[in-house]
Each structure stands twice: as structure tokens, then as C-alpha cells.
């Protein structure tokens, strides 16, 4: 089902096409727009389903990259910008591709814990039907209920993460992804392991749909030697039962 967006002052079709991982031509066709350079604030646009990544989009960009594929130890790899669901609108007006990291990370965690996979598009549809958003913010408990689970924000501690992982339950944590001002992204911690005498935590990252590793440092977790940005936990932890 196609989504909709209400045009705001300053919006352009080219900027909206980039935001929703589609093209100006697709927006023009879906909305019968006579002049692509002339759109009006307040008009509702239909955002077509079936998005394809824009040519040349770097694979590390939230809205680019290949389709999500596969799983590891029962935890699927879901990328929030996947063409199958990236253009769906969250509770207010942001797309899954641009702001759906928490929901996508949750989908990965509860798929494993419940043994009943649910992808971000399916979870978004459930949240839409059950009042699962406050604007674009996720109600964790409503999301967990889609698979008969409960969710709670826990006090940050590595021991809490460890106990959940030992029980086969991934957890979701907030990270400083690129802004340096606190939590701006959410990822799914899937397991803890020791390699060459060093402890590390594996995580599935909704931004890329791939696995990353974080290392303990002063009670937090961080990605080491990241050439692009700081990448570290911010003390926010969500657990499921």
C-alpha cells in the first residue's frame, strides 16, 4: 500500500525523492503533477511503493544499499532503507528509511526471540493498526506485542546485556551514530564472543543491514577505528521478554 506525505514549505520534489528513496519521475507519475518545479505546501503526495535505491548511493548510507538478506543465529539482517519497506511512513511523516532504525532493530530482536520472523514493513503495519507511534517515536511495548512479547527500558549495564544474550534474547541499544550529541541511532546486539583474548559484541545495524562489532570501554560499547564517525553506546537499553 502506498504511503502519503503532506508537503511542507521549502520542500522540492528532488529533495523528497531522495528522502523517500524514489525518483522525481515516480512522484510525478503517482501524483499527476503537471510541473515538477511547482508544488504547494499543504498538498498530500502519494509516495509509491516499490522503491529502488538511487544510482550511486553508497552502501553505507541509510537509504542506499542492496536488499536485506539472510540471518545469523536466527536474527535476520534487516536494512531500514530496503526497497520493500523503506518508503513506508512511520507514525507522523518520516519514512522507515530515514527514521526507522528503532523499529527495524526491534523487528530483528523480536523475530529471534519469538521464533516468528516479522520484517519492518509488517511491523510498521501492525504499529499503524495498534497505535504504536507517538508522532514518529516507537512504543516499544506495542512493537513487542506484535509477537506476544513485552519490552522495557532497562538500566544500562553490560551484565544485563550479557544475561539476555545468554538466554538467547537480543537487545536493542541506542548509539551515537554520527552527530556526537547522544542517541541518534538504534542497533540490535546479538551475541558476545571472545576473539584472540578480547571480548566483543556482535550487532546487526539497521543502517546497513550488516553485522558490526563493538568493544567494551569504560562500561560502554564502541566501534573501534571507525574512519567515518564516532560510533558508541549512549546508555539506552531495551530488553524483551
Q: pLDDT tens digit string along 149-207?
A: 999 999 999 999 999 999 999 999 999 987 677 888 999 999 999 999 999 999 999 99
Task: Give the separation between CA 205 and CA 78, rounded to whole angstroms.
Answer: 8
Query: Angle at the Cα of 16 (from 55 to 40), degrees rounded to 5?
Result: 145
pLDDT at 48: 67
Task: Write the pLDDT tens digit of every residue in 169-181.
Answer: 999 999 998 767 7
Length of the chain: 241
pLDDT at 63: 41
CA 214 to mean position of chain CA atoms: 18
pTM: 0.74
- Residue 107: pLDDT above 80? yes
> Which residue segments constitute the domains of the chain, with CATH numbers given?
1-50 (3.10.350.10), 152-240 (3.90.70.10)
Task: Write the pLDDT tens digit of every residue in 213-234.
Answer: 999 999 999 998 765 567 899 9
pLDDT at 31: 87
Closest CA to 100 of 115, 121, 83: 121
Amino acid at each position: 500500500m502506498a504511503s502519503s506525505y503532506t508537503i511542507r514549505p521549502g520542500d522540492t520534489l528532488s529533495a523528497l525523492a531522495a528522502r523517500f528513496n524514489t525518483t522525481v519521475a515516480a512522484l510525478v507519475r503517482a501524483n499527476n503533477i503537471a510541473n515538477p518545479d511547482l508544488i504547494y505546501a499543504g498538498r498530500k503526495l502519494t509516495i509509491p511503493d516499490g522503491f529502488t535505491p538511487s544510482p550511486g548511493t553508497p552502501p553505507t548510507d541509510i537509504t542506499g544499499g542492496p536488499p536485506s538478506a539472510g540471518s545469523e543465529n536466527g536474527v535476520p539482517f534487516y536494512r531500514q532503507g530496503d526497497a520493500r519497506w523503506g518508503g513506508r511512513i512511520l507514525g507522523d511523516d518520516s519514512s522507515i528509511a530515514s527514521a526507522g532504525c528503532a523499529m527495524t532493530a526491534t523487528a530483528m530482536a523480536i523475530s529471534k526471540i519469538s521464533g516468528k520472523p516479522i520484517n519492518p514493513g509488517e511491523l510498521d503495519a501492525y504499529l499503524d493498526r495498534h497505535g504504536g507511534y507517538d508522532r514518529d517515536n516507537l512504543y516499544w511495548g506495542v512493537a513487542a506485542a506484535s509477537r506476544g512479547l513485552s519490552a522495557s527500558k532497562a538500566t544500562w549495564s553490560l551484565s544485563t546485556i550479557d544475561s539476555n544474550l545468554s538466554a538467547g534474547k537480543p537487545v536493542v541499544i541506542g548509539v551515537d551514530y554520527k552527530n556526537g550529541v547522544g542517541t541518534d541511532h538504534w542497533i540490535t546486539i546479538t551475541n558476545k564472543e571472545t576473539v584472540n583474548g578480547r571480548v566483543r559484541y556482535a550487532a546487526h545495524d539497521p543502517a546497513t543491514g550488516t553485522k558490526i562489532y563493538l568493544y567494551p570501554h569504560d562500561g560502554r560499547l564502541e566501534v573501534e577505528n571507525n574512519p567515518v564517525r564516532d560510533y558508541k553506546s549512549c546508555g539506552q537499553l531495551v530488553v524483551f521478554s
